[in-house]
Chains A and B, each alone.
Chain A
Amino acid sequence: MSCRVGLEIHQMLDTRAKLFCGCPTELRRDEPHFTFRRWLRLARSELGELDPAALFEYSKGRTFVYESYLDGSCLVEMDEEPPHPLNPEALEAALIVAMALNCRIVDEVHVMRKIVIDGSNTTGFQRTALIGFDGWVDVEGKRVPVSTVCLEEDAARKVGERGGEVLYRLDRLGVPLVEISTAPVLSSPEEAGLAALRIGQLLRMTGRVKRGLGTIRQDLNISVEGGARVEVKGVQELELIPKVVELEIQRQRGLLEIRDELRRRGVSPGALDQRPVDVTEVFKGTNSRVARRALEAGGVALAVKLPGFAGLLGREIQPGRRLGTEMADRARYWAEVGGIFHSDELPGYGIGGGEVEEVRRLLGCGPGDAFALVFGEPRKARAAVEAVLERAREALEGVPPETRAANPDGTTRFMRPMPGRARMYPETDIRPIPITGEMLARLAAKLPEPPEVKYERFTKVYGLHPDLARKVLRSYRLDLFERAVAEVGAPPTLVASTLEGTLVELRRDGVPVQNLTDEHLLDVFRLVARGGLVKEAVPAVLKYLAENPSSTAEGAVRALGLEPLSVEEARGVVREVLRGMEGVIRERGMAAFGPAMGAVMARLRGRLDGALISKLVREELERLLKGG
């Protein structure tokens, strides 16, 4: 199945201060110190330029409540003070990223204001600047064009919504991000995953980016042949990318099949000029909780016929997701109505067969027809029916272009219509910043080493087996490997096989390795390097840490009783074990080495180097046999 995928990667930079003020870039968990309330607005004459999604959000007239910390945000984030000059540390990091991605660099950086009126920016716009363009990155032999590298401020974190109010927290607002966009040339789920990995790896190798969950966010644009360009936002885990792409291909194909089936059935757009029918009476004594609650609150039940759709609303297009799900998503978005059902899932949810038959009768549904049923406040219910009909019309066309959000299982849900062209104008509070040749020459020295050079070093200097070296080079933990070897002094092969082998095995065994942070791993390697842990015990310690993430490597060793023994202590244990099996030894001589080794290992595994144990067993065995 051919597809075209482009990536848009947002990576937080690891700078001391935010992009336009001196505030720290750490996210907070404690209670905010204070809140304030704002509205955003545009002149009505400008609204004509708004895309439908923005206009819709705007028309809700939301109040934005911002939570803030005295020591975490300042007047700049509150939009009570003009921005300070662009953070030079962030600019340098963005330039390094752009250069590492082989971009052309602009001669002068112009900061722009990109209008965003969902409240996530207190100003009503996001400040963003284009740093590099027309770059490339090699992904497994394929040259993938990098269209742009931009430096921008992150938005405030949405922390809740109640009534007409949206709650945001200001800690994240203003944290510098680089945004990397590739051309839509990736042609398979695996390739998309590899490209994201390669770019993520490069970002980490610059040493200028933040690590950990939530510090990198991948957006994908995906289209299949005959489908449409669909944006998928907010894929946080790299591993999920191939799955998201695969499931999106599946969805677009499913929608194309539904379209073809509708055409075969002769369903025309005109057939969908349906008016909703008020079927409230039918549900007067209903057993459906959702329906009862909506009607008791003064709501109505509206039904609308979907001619020729029978069986198609319930057809699965992604695991657990159907055309009916997509209609419900739309109704929720445009009408904020939750109680929506379609005929392919009824009877069910407390709605009985009798009720279904009555609705079908009132709508005049034939056997090939489907219907949608909405419970809610009259105005909202009508809007929901409109949204359903609109989605039904789109089903006749195939795949609607739209912005979708990734679910944790790799499926996606409708988020909003495709945004229109970005509306940008210059940020006049920030002067243009010249980028000189000298500046770029100085930064060229700070670029990460190219992969070929690294391969040479890993195999020649670190003595890694070529296969293992290649594995490390493809790994998302490449930078961690380098740190563990260079900064911590752990043995390269151990580090490489732990990161690329042990972790995979542990995951396969169901150990929650996602709990292991870079700090956990470095802590373990440090202990190995210091002689506080033998390499055989590493898997057990990692398993313990994954299950007890608040522990340290030393704590794990203590809890597991894996403190390394001295050679003399170990020799004592070996003697003790051999004495216990003296009969066998006398009988079989040196042939008893195998069983003896097994018995000793049961006591000493993970507490001394295996080769050393073997040496001790041999020595003690010989001594016993000789000494008699």
Chain B
Amino acid sequence: MSAEGYGEAAAELLSAAGAGVFDEVELERDDGALVRGVLLPRPQYGDPNVLVVKLPNGYNVGIDARRVKSLRRVGRVEPSRGAAAPAPSPKPGLPRVHFVGTGGTIASRVDYVSGAVYPYFTAEEIYSMVPELEDVALVSAETLFNVFSEDMTPRHWSAIAERVAKVFESEGPAGVIVAHGTDTMGYTAAALAFALRRLPGPVILVGAQRSSDRPSTDSATNVLAAAVTAVKAPFAESVVVMHAGPDDTAFYVHRGVRVRKMHTSRRDAFRSVNAVPLAKVELPSRELKVFARRFTPRSSEGVVLEGGFEERVALVKFYPGMSPEVLDFLVDRGYRGVVIEGTGLGHVSADLVPSVRRATEEGVVVVVASQCIWGRVNMNVYRRGVELLKAGAVPAEDMLPETAFVKLSWVLARAQGREEAVRLFLTNVAHEMDERSEEWYYPPLNYFERYVRG
């Protein structure tokens, strides 16, 4: 007998009747209304003294416990987790693909009695959600940890990198797929790109913008496209595979160091910035088309892992009127690196220049990226840029601010001294920077004109 989540008035009513959640109850309200159904746990939000009752027709209704004249327990239902997933039957001789769960849900099942959604992360459930995989790969799966995307830290990046390296070494899969919440997927993808220096196959981050409990989830097709990538890709880099548009038929493989979540909710939220995607996967044909002219191929010479990220690194966005105290605070607190998202070609206000100089003098690496997102930082064009360079600021070139942040964290965990850190930071490690900016990197501005009528 439990009054899960309920307030005092409701709990009192229930305990007097010897009733609790998942009991079938019959109650009469003060207006004579009779209600019979299964008492469900109270959701966290809303009035805790309103009983949630699931009626025989499947609807949930809220009945205010303070209006209930009488309540009687008439039975009990057991919430079920449904039937176990049927045993998959993958075709023999398929390449292996290993799934690492970090908190993104790929498969889940709904209990229509309690309304609860149970996420799953077993090979059986992945096959159950994406039966097409039986023709694509021999799947294995493990849950490494279960954290929300926004709770990920550089320590989690290292743990994932270590696990991926280990799986490649000991099990030799064609590729490893990391299920990850989408909010910070870009950061983790960049981190894996720096930490996994040599790989026999790609490490693919995949997630869902629509949760896996709904029939329209993008999880299943994203996973299928990721598995196709794992099996077919000629490259062995850290990539993100997500929808290429609102259709369930096309998916882009983005380079982890070049990808950014650019929309709060759309399936095609991820975009390659200052680059085009590495490849495209099409469904249902399961074809993979490579766009990239240069990539790191699969290696047969064993995995090279260089994990570890400096945690005293900050990513700060410059804004008009920003106080130099923000920067000073970080330096005072012992931060070893700061990436400033500056304006335009890489600028901050004059007020901040002395603080940049002081940070540099104290051995802190101050990187300037651009809040324009698209384009390259160039600090030689305007006086302010030149002043910042003189003060010791390091330009992030055409790197995404987030990638610059991850890279600086990685660099500072291994470089000896500031000078080496700056040199390493300005070295292309994982295709995260490019001296050439090609025309097609920037999406055309007239995309909307095809819809203009008349």
A-side residues, CB < 8 A to B, are: 33-34, 36-46, 48-49, 70, 75, 78-82, 104, 106-110, 112-115, 117, 122-125, 128-130, 133-134, 148, 150, 421-426, 431-432, 434
Would you give the shortest CB distance from B281 to chain A, in whole angstroms?
15
Closest to B60 in A: A110
Report chain A residues within 8 Å CB of B264.
81
Report chain A residues within 8 Å CB of B82.
45-46, 48-49
Instruction: Show 11 A/B contacts (Cβ-Cβ < 8 Å), sorted by A.
Output: A43-B85, A43-B109, A45-B86, A48-B83, A70-B451, A81-B265, A107-B63, A130-B61, A425-B111, A425-B213, A432-B50
Known: A46-B110, A104-B29. A40 touches B215 (CB 8 A): yes
Give me the 4 closest cross-chain CB pairs, A-B, nearest first: A108-B62, A124-B215, A104-B33, A424-B58
Complex Cα–Cα for A39 and B210 (A): 13
**CB-contact partner of A148 in B50, B57, B246, under 8 A:** B57
Contact A125 B214 (CB under 8 A): yes
Would you give the shortest CB distance from A181 to chain B, in whole angstroms?
9
Report chain B residues within 8 Å CB of A78.
246
Q: Is B302 an interface residue (CB 8 A)?
A: no
Report chain B residues within 8 Å CB of A38.
216, 247-248
Complex Cα–Cα for A108 and B65 (A): 11
Known: A114-B58, A148-B57, A424-B58. A80 touches B246 (CB 8 A): yes
Report chain A residues within 8 Å CB of B52.
108, 110, 432
- In this complex, how many residues of chain B approach chain A with their Cβ under 8 Å: the count is 58
Interface string of B214-246 (1 = CB under 8 A from A): 111100110000000000000000000000011
Complex Cα–Cα for A432 and B40 (A): 14
Known: A36-B247, A124-B215, A424-B112. A75 touches B265 (CB 8 A): yes
Complex Cα–Cα for A107 and B249 (A): 44
Report chain A residues within 8 Å CB of B63.
106-108
Contact A426 B33 (CB under 8 A): no
Contact B112 A423 (CB under 8 A): yes
Known: A45-B125, A108-B62, A426-B60. A79 touches B46 (CB 8 A): no
**CB-contact partner of B62 in A40, A44, A106, under 8 A:** A106
Closest to B219 in A: A41
Complex Cα–Cα for A34 and B128 (A): 33
Contact B266 A81 (CB under 8 A): yes
Complex Cα–Cα for A210 and B64 (A): 33
Contact B266 A80 (CB under 8 A): yes
Q: Is B440 an interface residue (CB 8 A)?
A: no
**CB-contact partner of B61 in A49, A110, A434, under 8 A:** A110
Complex Cα–Cα for A75 and B451 (A): 16
Contact B125 A423 (CB under 8 A): no
Closest to A65 in B: B247
B42-69: which have CB < 8 Å to A? Answer: 43, 45-47, 50, 52, 55, 57-64, 67
Report chain B residues within 8 Å CB of A423.
58, 110, 112
Closest to A130 in B: B59
Would you give the shortest CB distance from B21 to chain A, in whole angstroms?
14
Report chain B residues within 8 Å CB of A115.
215
Q: Is B117 an interface residue (CB 8 A)?
A: yes
Report chain A residues within 8 Å CB of B108.
43
Contact B214 A44 (CB under 8 A): no
Closest to B107 in A: A43
Contact A43 B125 (CB under 8 A): yes
Contact B128 A44 (CB under 8 A): yes
Contact B62 A107 (CB under 8 A): yes
Q: Is B129 an interface residue (CB 8 A)?
A: yes
Complex Cα–Cα for A270 and B301 (A): 69
Contact A45 B221 (CB under 8 A): no
Contact A36 B64 (CB under 8 A): no
Closest to A61 in B: B284
Report chain B residues within 8 Å CB of A421.
58
Contact A425 B110 (CB under 8 A): yes
Complex Cα–Cα for A529 and B139 (A): 78
Further pairs besides A37-B248, A45-B85, A78-B246: 9, Cβ < 8 Å: A44-B85, A44-B131, A48-B82, A80-B266, A106-B61, A107-B62, A114-B58, A133-B55, A133-B61
Known: A432-B46, A434-B46. A124 touches B216 (CB 8 A): yes
Contact B265 A80 (CB under 8 A): yes
Known: A148-B57, A434-B47. A107 touches B64 (CB 8 A): yes
Contact A124 B214 (CB under 8 A): yes
Contact B59 A110 (CB under 8 A): yes
Would you give the shortest CB distance from B55 to chain A, in whole angstroms?
7
Closest to B263 in A: A80
Report chain A residues within 8 Å CB of B47.
108, 434
**CB-contact partner of A108 in B50, B83, B451, under 8 A:** B50
Report chain B residues within 8 Å CB of A40.
215-216
Complex Cα–Cα for A467 and B50 (A): 50
